[in-house]
Amino acid sequence: MLVSKLYAVQYELRQHLTGWWWVIRHARQPTCKLDLAPNRVLFVLTGLLGDSVMCTPVIAAARHLWPESKIVLLGKRQNLELLAACPYIDEFIEATAIPFTLTKRKDVSVLAAKLRALHFDLAIILLGDQFAHLLAKVGIPIRVGVKEHPLAPCLTHHYSIGSPRTWGPEERLGALRCLGYKVESVKPRLWVDRDARESASLKLRGFGVEAEGRYVVLHPFGSEKRQWWPLNRAALFAEATFHELGLKTLLIGGPEVRSAINQNLPACLLDSTGRLSIQELLAVIERAELVVTTDSGPFHIAGALERPAIGLFRGRRPEHATAYPTAKVVFGRNAECDAKCDWNQCREVPCRQMQSITVEEVLKVIRHEGSSKNSFL
């Protein structure tokens, strides 16, 4: 724990010092303007899946603004897989290392050489503020990024995302508005590869879902354990859903959660954790009757694919609860959390607010929606 904290401190300090030094060396450097449509545009997207989904309106708007431009996406493997079927992206570059890391410096140097050779006219950072200095070093003349980051002096144009509690697609569209473009607000969208649909269908059969079979998707996990819904409720939810609706439940999650899964699962709870690629995950969610998930990537994926969803949210993190019209949210509440925990930090793992969400509360939402005109199922 101490080592990780020390690493985080030096990582932040080096970025602050780099931004400060850039101001000293380039204080009188003139600002470039984007007078014509750029020939080559680089988007940097190296964040979590849910955050990446909320950035998709910017890429769609850029293609509308610059139909003839070559749009390239720089991201981690998961970001590239998420947007592999996006029709607006012409090329993908994988970031195998992040700037300012103490390891993989050679990878960063190789990436810098590649970016320099491609002669981009414009670079827009959506997620991955650490890249600002690298983009400046490789000579990209117009560089757009977040105003609030310590490396903002390395940029030529800035946009503000405001509070980390509230930012969403609207704030990220500021990346184009700060260049002088009028951009309409649109909802996030995702695209599913045809081959991924076919391979996902084959895997679903292997899990026990027939070609035309209906199922519910359950994702009780999160990027950190404090976001998890207690795993013992997965079986209870699956049994109740099968009893009331006759539908099996497909448990989804990355390979990192497989060790936490109890192998003695009921027959109505199908375990696909660690066995789906990200594009296959999109295909599985696209076909689902309902997605029940924590405030994590699958919540945003379901929203972008316009699938019915129930979000399991901590009461202290409500910011994305109304982001998608097809989603309903159940909030976990706990008075002790409200009094002692920070907005983004829990003192208990799993969070007491997540523990407070019962299976019955989720079923009530399903029953209520099932009896309304906007039926989930």
Percent of the chain at pLDDT > 90 equals 76
178-183 mean pLDDT: 95
User: ∠76-78-80 over CA atoms, to 5°?
Assistant: 70
Q: Dihedrals φ, ψ of 202, to 5°? A: -65, -40
pTM: 0.94
Please report the pLDDT score of residue 376 as a whole number.
64
Query: Would you place residue 374 in the very low, low, confident or very high pLDDT band (cuts 50, 70, 90)?
Result: low
Q: Compute the mean pLDDT over every residue in the chain, rounded to the nearest whole number.
A: 92
Q: What is the pLDDT of residues 284-341, one digit of tens each?
A: 999 999 999 999 999 999 999 999 999 999 888 888 999 999 999 999 988 887 777 7
Residue 332 Cα to chain centre, angstroms: 22
Residue 372 pLDDT grade (very low, low, confident, very high; cuts 50, 70, 90): low
Q: How far is CA 267 from CA 5, 189, 200, 207, in A?
A: 43, 34, 20, 10
HSE at residue 296, side-chain half, CA atoms within 13 A, is 21
Distance CA 260, CA 256 (A): 9
- The per-residue pLDDT for 234 is 95
> Which pLDDT tens digit goes with each residue over 227-256?
899 999 999 999 999 999 999 999 999 999
Tell me the per-residue pLDDT of 6-21, one tens digit each, with 9 for 90 and over. Answer: 888 898 999 999 999 9
CA dihedral 343, 349, 350, 351 (to 10 degrees): -30
pLDDT at 377 over 70: no
Question: What pLDDT, on the 0 to 100 scale, is given for residue 28?
Answer: 62
Question: Which tokens go with 196?
Answer: 């991924």
pLDDT of 343 reads: 67
Pairwise CA distance, residues 211 & 65, whole Å: 40
Lowest-pLDDT range of 206-210, 260-264, 344-348: 344-348
